[in-house]
Chains A and B, each alone.
Chain A
Amino acid sequence: MLFAVIAALLAQEPPPFETTFDPGRGLELRAGGSALGLAPGADFGLSLRLRGDRDSRSKAGTSWLHAHRLVMADARAGPGQRQLSLAAYEGIARRHVDDGSLLLPTSPPLRLPFPLDLGLYARIARYERRVEDGLGWSLETARVAMLFDPLRSGSGRFHLGFGPSLAHVLRHDGAVLHNELTPLTALQLFVSLESDDGLWVFRSAGQAGFTFDPAALQTGGTFRARGEVTLERVLLAVNDHPVSLQLRASGAFRDAGALSANEWSAGGALKVQLFAHR
């Protein structure tokens, strides 16, 4: 009897389930821990990812690959730390051409191979508040960068973009509100690499360069840098919603919080990504 039941169970067709995912879409929920400097803390995050592609209507052989991240919220709680970061939007749109070229207006015109895709990076309304900084806060109203991508992948799973960025930041140190401008004097980096099945994801983003305070131009620019690297691996899926282990490291040089502090952090988190179906 028992053998018959086991045989019947083994003979059953296994129900279908997702084994590949799209890390570029869905609602991300993240919870984990990290060390900020040497201080431990718990991290929580939420964001909505969307992406897509479409062929250009005006230029044959050209396609637009775009990835967006909306309603980003990150919070951190730990001994003496209560931090909140909110951002409305972050995304890129890369123009991929099958055969890149540069046309020189000589006579006759000269057509040179151009081994880079062009793209646009934007981040809008990023607010950062740290209770331990007192009353201070910072708000990056917008950051826009033109990206060059030497990978030139025809897939939205691979981006490697770098280029000059333009930004405006309001930083209130608790007493005085400062305007900070980055007039194409910083370098923006954006990297996103995914495995075919979407189980592995590597991402990195950051910027480094000089910012200027219009009220104190005579003091010159201030070098600031900020960057983040994440590596994710899907461990399991619950009802076909992937759950990933995420390792994360980040650093900031004269750019963290309202007080423009230096800091680094490293940690891990579990991330569930709802509706990440292909």
Chain B
Amino acid sequence: MLPTLLALALSQAPDPEPPAGPVTSAPVITIETADEVQHLRYDQEVYCAQLPPTAAVPSGRYRVQCDDAAHVCLVAPNKVLRDGVETEEELQRLTYCGALPEGRLEALAATHRFVEAVAEAPDGWYRDDAGRIVQVNFDLHRRVYFGGAWAPLFRPGGASDLSRASGLLGRGRADFGIELELAEADVRAVYRLHILEGSAWLGGDELRLMATAIRFDWSASRLSPPLWVTTFIGKPRRFDLDLNLHGWFETLRLELISDKGFLTLASANASLDLWHSKDLQSYLRVRVGPAAELDVQTKSVALRPEGAVEGDFTLDADGFHHLTGAVSFEKLFFEQPIDGRRGNPQRFRARLGYELILLAINDYPLTLVVDARALWRDDLPNVRPQWDFGLDAGLRFSFWAPQRRTAVPVLRRGRG
């Protein structure tokens, strides 16, 4: 699975170059320079044509897109320019260009103006004046990522005795994860799959690991309300309840903390979207459900009801800013009694994170990740229940990360 996904991610390398097609030979045409840079449209038909050679394009090979209503043809060099002159480097991420029908170019020359332009680019990609293309819109919900962070830990002392507080600065975190997001064509449902996602905190006298083999959930935008209530007191009336009720499932979540290990065999939650964005990528939801948890040391399985309020917000249209957060609660029942641990132990976790794309290397984004975390638990034998707080800051590199489904044509750098 992983090699396949990595191959998929790495396949983001340039698309196969569309066949250039036969090139139409050139009548006498003057190419005008536009006051403002014009771009060919990716979603409209493009022709390859032979126009009169110029100093910038000695080959005379252009991409042509005509607007018959405006009597204008935009023409773009078919190669990358360097120092304003055509090179042998092919343009990347182009749409197919066909040959103009016989005599069509002569007809266009008589009725249309030919204006210099930049070749077309897919939605979410920007092509500069030289023809080079860069991705400026990223979907961080579809990626293979790894990263690291500085992750100091702070444990306050007793409520009235901060002198017992302790801090651990020499601590780091390593992250890895695969995120897939599948959407129906009309984006009425989004299915999220997280594979082998986890973090390990290293340093100090305590190792922590939290990793999940598979997590799956979905959000949907329904055409009709999933729940309605009809009352029959007096005239029958129908009240629609727009509940966005979905599912959340997890299997094989391993948590290691020092010498203790807890393995979640399976977890099934009902989730309710309190809010979600139109593209369903951002959401605020509540989820509750049962889980079965194996205590790795005692080899006993406990029932673990759990609940969480969690959110994931993409703050800008190009997917550069992400805010995530979660508050979760877990409690164990029917667990095997352990000396030094109270019955029905519980865990409370809170996390608030921010991720920002700093730059992209070969169109793979490098992000700054900042997390604030809090944890309280009494499930560790002979460990005094207490809060600990972490503030993690680091970098994350993501493969794949294609343009978002909501990406639009980018005609100016960073703007749609």
Contact = CB atoms under 8 A, between A and B. Distances in A.
Nearest to B239: A236
Interface-centre pick from B232, B236, B238, B240 (highest chain A CB count, 10 A): B232
Given A199-B232, A234-B232, A239 B227 contact: yes
Nearest to B225: A15
B228 A19 contact: no
Contacts of A236: 229-233
B230 to A, nearest CB: 4
A14 B235 CA distance: 14
Interface string A206-241: 000000000000000000000000000011111110
Nearest to B240: A15
Contact of B238 (A15, A199, A234): A15
Contacts of A18: 230
A239 to B, nearest CB: 6
A19 B227 contact: no
B44 interface: no
B362 interface: no
Contacts, number: 35
Interface residues of B, number: 12
B224 A15 contact: yes
Contacts of B224: 15
A33 B240 CA distance: 30
B230 A19 contact: yes
A240 B228 CA distance: 8
A237 B227 contact: no
Contact of B228 (A199, A234, A235, A239): A239
Interface-centre pick from B230, B231, B236, B240 (highest chain A CB count, 10 A): B230
A169 B319 CA distance: 73
A17 interface: yes
Nearest to B226: A239
Interface in A128-187: none
8 contacts: A14-B238, A15-B240, A17-B236, A235-B233, A236-B231, A237-B230, A239-B226, A239-B227
Interface of A: 14-15, 17-19, 199, 234-240
The 6 A-B residue pairs with the shortest CB-CB distance in the complex, in nearest-first order: A237-B230, A17-B238, A19-B236, A236-B231, A17-B230, A234-B232
